Amino acid sequence: MRTPHLGLLLAVLLGSSSGLAEGVAEPSCPGVSGRDVPLETLGLRQPHLILNKDVPDPFVLKHGGTYHAFGTGTRIGGVQHNVQLVRSTDLRNWSAPAEVLPVDNLPAWVDRGHAQVWAPEVTEIGGRYVLYFNARHKSLTRTERPPEGPRVLQRHCIGAAVADTPAGPFVGHPEPLVCDEFPDGVIDASPFRDGGKLYLYYKDDGNCCGRGSAIHVRELRADGLAVAGASRRLVASNDGLGEQDDWEWLVVEAPTMVKRGADYTLFYTGNYFGNQNYSVAYLKCVTPMGPCGDVGENPILHSGKHTPLIGPGHQTLIEEGGRTYAFFHGWNRNPDAPQKAQVHKRCLYVAQVRWEAKPGGERPRIPQGKPARYH
């Protein structure tokens, strides 16, 4: 198990991050630009940097020929955005960021004074678009355990908002979808459709409070605005042979389920989001509700000696033209806690996933994802 320094420990115990402020002094993100690369070879041999702006926890949806990239709430031009959206028709030229979940549209259960809206994902259900997110509840609390001692703060819950188009604006659904059964809170909601059924994947945010974390799944109601049935745990940060898996540490989060043929692959990100140790991994699952298992190849995308990427993670995947594109963020420089406004940002990258046929099903590979040495 990797032992972090005090700054890292404090940042992890305080939970996941909201976005950072945008400022003119931010250094550029590293890596090869995808600006002049054709779509069919974009990210094919190496990850490409496609947006040199702060887009934390990106989710990309293609609709009507336009790529919609949603990001965790952040300050842009001095104004707080709960959910930012940037759009592009070619993954080269991007619109200015727009707010698609304004504060007046947040549901009543959210603490509007300090909402901390994170990890938005959008899907089409019944001719309208549902945005899933997590935010701070105005009254429910959890006991966080930073090194200086316990403190009681509001917990995060998962909510939904609805719009007629993916460009919004979205209007919040009155009640949280997942909340009460998780005393440490829940974050990183990700919807998945398999045939006529909808599922929601999310993270039990136990690392906020000195415990490990876990990824769960639950079936959704047909309209996507309520859960149905019981929650099922798919993977936890302490599922390995040691107290915590060496590379995951206390954190497993950002789930993304993908189906190819009869194969189910659950992508996720592990370790601390705020430095170079953040990494992408996968599990092979029997059904959308599990069970899921690690075949021993993780992580498949991470920082290292021979890659410019810094803490790549919070991936989403798109199938297009027979290719699988993985979008994810990476830091412009290693914050290693604490992060500073106008110094640090998380930019948008893309890589193509190559699928290898193996006994037991296909396994994903990301170009230059496993460098020669892992830090």
- We report the CATH number of the domain holding residue 13 as 2.115.10.20
Asked if the model's pLDDT at residue 328 lies above 90, the reply is yes
- Please report which confidence band the pLDDT of residue 372 belongs to, taking 50, 70 and 90 as the band edges: low
Cβ within 8 Å of residue 253, ≥6 positions away:
16, 187, 188, 203, 213, 215, 268, 269, 270, 273, 314
Residue 339 lies in a domain: no
Residue 314 lies in a domain: no
Residue 368 lies in a domain: no
Rounded to whole angstroms, how far apart are CA atoms 349 and 39? 13
What's the total number of domains in the chain?
Answer: 1
Residue 43 lies in a domain: no
Residue-wise pLDDT for 79-109, tens only, equals 889 999 999 999 999 999 999 999 999 999 9
Asked if the model's pLDDT at residue 142 lies above 60, the reply is yes
Residue 134 lies in a domain: yes
Asked if the model's pLDDT at residue 307 lies above 60, the reply is yes
Rounded to whole angstroms, how far apart are CA atoms 325 and 319? 6
Strand partners, 232: 217
Residue 374 lies in a domain: no
Diameter of the chain by CA atoms? 53
Domain around 139 = 6-23+54-291
Amino acid at 126: G
Of 177 and 25, the structure prediction assigns the larger pLDDT to: 177
What is the token pair recorded at 33? 């630009």
Q: Is 308 helix (H, G, I), strand (E, B) or coil?
A: coil
Q: Which of 19-28, 46-55, 142-151, 164-173 has the lowest mean pLDDT?
A: 19-28
**Mean pLDDT, rounded, of the chain:** 89
Residue 33 lies in a domain: no
Asked if the model's pLDDT at residue 158 lies above 70, the reply is yes
**pLDDT score recorded for residue 44:** 97
Rounded to whole angstroms, how far apart are CA atoms 363 and 283? 9
Residue 177 lies in a domain: yes
| pTM for this model (two decimals) | 0.91
Cα distances (angstroms) measured from residue 233 to each of 122, 217, 289, 303: 23, 7, 9, 28
What is the token pair recorded at 255? 């789930």
Residue-wise pLDDT for 215-255, tens only, equals 999 999 999 999 998 999 999 997 765 555 578 989 999 99
Q: Is 116 helix (H, G, I), strand (E, B) or coil?
A: coil
